[in-house]
């Protein structure tokens, strides 16, 4: 049953990407890319980020995670609510928590015993993503322009 749900979600995600690609002229270039990045991150998460992988059994590709989706979504709403046309280089820094989470997960896999420092670091990094989520919700409720999305 779970595999059926994953396949349906995968097909829906690919269909959504196709629809957005066909109508990409209607969107600003930066918001189009960020929204497509968030959809792709969800598709990659569906394909294989837990023990219930769609194609590979018992493999955890922890890089494709909900944290990557939150980062793309956070940046999407940041640029949706602004009039900026180009992606600012300093905004690449918002991907640092995802990279740090990836590195800590990699270190955790290769370490022979449980490392408390890594667990604390992962928890702190997850609070950053919680902050992203709270910021997204705050902007959605505060900004009149974002109310069209709701």
Annotated domain spans of the chain: 2-148
The structure tokens listed for 92 are 């690449």
Position 24 scores a pLDDT of 84
Pairwise CA distance, residues 140 & 150, whole Å: 8
DSSP 112: S
* For helices 29-48 and 66-80, angle between their N-to-C axes, nearest 10 degrees: 170
The three-state secondary structure class of 113 is: coil
Position 133 scores a pLDDT of 86
Low-confidence ranges of the chain (pLDDT < 50): 150
Position 150 scores a pLDDT of 44
The candidate with the shortest Cα–Cα distance to 81, out of 22, 32, 140, 36, is 140
Pairwise CA distance, residues 104 & 75, whole Å: 23
């Amino acid at each position: 049953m779970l595999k059926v749900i994953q396949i349906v979600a995968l097909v829906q995600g690919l269909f959504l990407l196709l629809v957005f690609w066909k109508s990409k002229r209607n969107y600003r270039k930066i918001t189009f890319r960020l929204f497509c990045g968030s959809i792709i991150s969800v598709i990659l998460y569906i394909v294989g980020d837990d023990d219930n992988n769609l194609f590979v059994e018992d493999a955890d590709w922890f890089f494709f995670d909900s944290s990557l989706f939150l980062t793309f979504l956070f940046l999407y709403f940041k640029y949706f609510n602004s009039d900026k046309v180009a992606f600012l280089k300093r905004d690449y820094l918002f991907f640092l928590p995802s990279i740090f989470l990836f590195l800590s997960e990699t270190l955790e896999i290769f370490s022979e015993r449980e490392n408390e420092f890594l667990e604390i670091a992962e928890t702190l990094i997850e609070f950053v993503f919680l902050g992203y989520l709270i910021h997204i919700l705050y902007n959605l409720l505060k900004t009149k322009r974002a109310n069209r999305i709701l």
